């Protein structure tokens, strides 16, 4: 299982956020996110939004810390990237 999380640098709703992704499958991502307490509503197209206060929890649970550009590169290479405006694969 390999999950990745970028630093909490993305502002929104008065706090900073990270992105949690898998380079294997969405099933793996959903399972890991549920295990660390991410609500389903935190899933957005191809990642979970993780508030700064829960970043350390994700890392302790096994998510690897990587930069945002590397996170997108790995997600794209795995064929799991779903940019805004593009429909999910059928």
State pLDDT tens for residues 20-48: 999 999 999 999 999 999 999 999 999 99
Model confidence band, residue 90 (pLDDT cutoffs 50, 70, 90): very low
Q: Is residue 86 part of a domain?
A: no
Q: Is residue 65 part of a domain?
A: yes
Q: Is residue 84 part of a domain?
A: no
Q: Is residue 88 part of a domain?
A: no
- The tally of domains found in the chain comes to 1
User: d(Cα 67, Cα 88) in Å, to the nearest integer?
Assistant: 25
| Mean pLDDT, rounded, for 51-77 | 96
The domain of 25 spans: 1-76
As a 3-state breakdown, the chain gives helix, strand, coil percent values, each rounded to 5, of: 35, 25, 40
């Amino acid at each position: 299982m390999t999950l990745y999380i970028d630093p909490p640098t993305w502002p929104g709703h008065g706090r900073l956020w990270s992105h949690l992704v898998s380079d294997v499958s969405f099933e793996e991502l959903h399972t890991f996110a549920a295990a660390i307490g991410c609500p389903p509503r935190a899933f957005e197209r191809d990642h979970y939004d993780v508030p700064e206060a829960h970043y350390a929890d994700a890392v302790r649970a096994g998510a690897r810390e990587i930069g945002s550009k590397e996170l997108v590169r790995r997600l794209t290479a795995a064929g799991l990237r779903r940019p805004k405006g593009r429909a999910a694969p059928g």
